[in-house]
């Protein structure tokens, strides 16, 4: 049995979506953020030393990091679904999106969130952060021009991995400037598996 160690308002929501798309049996172990600090509870450290989410356990295997979890679940349990043929050029693009989401695109959005909490003290940093956000969102928006999915002609793990970037950008009011990205996110969120995952995992918010 696959267990998802699910923290509210976190990246683990997209792991639930992936599991729903794959039609796999899984159980959710829920953890709640501290309402004051917004940090994960200490109990998560019993699952993995970093005490972060998402983490999955699958038998005697423990896997953390969203991209690694998505790759693991698709390779081990996907039966060829939700990824391009590994011999194809699309597979190379697919891997780039899996790494790009957290390796590059998420950083300026996280900086925006933290600096926003500084109030006036963070104002000098805003122009550079806004420029980087525009750079990355513009890149993704252009990549989606004329496309229904990020890679190939059907949903892949790349779409699931990148969904969190678009959702955080939407929470900060950035999406109207990027119509391809905005419409792509709406299509992803309309998928039955996405809706099922949201119902099981619970509504989540990023602006705190």
CATH 1.20.1050.10 describes domain 89-192: yes
In tens, the pLDDT along 137-151 reads 999 999 999 999 999
Within 13 Å of residue 204, how many CA atoms lie on the same side as its CB? Answer: 25
Q: Model pTM? A: 0.92
Tell me what percent of the residues of the chain surpass a pLDDT of 90: 75
In tens, the pLDDT along 54-70 reads 999 999 999 999 999 99
Domain ranges of the chain: 2-82, 89-192
- Please tell me if the domain spanning 2-82 has the same topology as the one spanning 89-192: no
Q: Name the CATH superfamily, with its identifier, for domain 2-82.
A: Glutaredoxin (3.40.30.10)
> Averaged over 161-176, what is the pLDDT?
96
Distance, C-alpha 137 to centroid of its chain? 15
């Amino acid at each position: 049995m696959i267990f998802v160690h699910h923290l509210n308002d976190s990246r683990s929501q997209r792991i639930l979506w992936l599991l729903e798309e794959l039609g796999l049996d899984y159980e959710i172990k829920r953890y709640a953020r501290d309402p004051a600090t917004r940090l994960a509870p200490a109990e998560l450290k019993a699952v993995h030393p970093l005490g972060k989410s998402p983490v999955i356990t699958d038998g005697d295997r423990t896997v953390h990091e969203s991209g690694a979890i998505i790759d693991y679940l698709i390779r081990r349990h996907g039966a060829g679904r939700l990824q391009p043929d590994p011999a194809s050029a699309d597979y190379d693009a697919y891997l780039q999106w899996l790494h790009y989401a957290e390796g590059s695109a998420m950083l300026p959005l996280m900086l925006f969130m933290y600096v926003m909490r500084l109030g006036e003290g963070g104002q000098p940093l805003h122009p550079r952060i806004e420029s980087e956000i525009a750079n990355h969102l513009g890149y993704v928006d252009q990549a989606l021009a004329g496309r229904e999915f990020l890679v190939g002609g059907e949903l892949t793990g790349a779409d699931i991995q990148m969904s969190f970037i678009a959702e955080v950008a939407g929470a900060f009011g950035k999406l109207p400037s990027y119509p391809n990205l905005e419409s792509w996110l709406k299509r992803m969120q309309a998928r039955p598996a996405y809706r099922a995952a949201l119902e099981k995992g619970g509504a989540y918010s990023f602006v705190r």
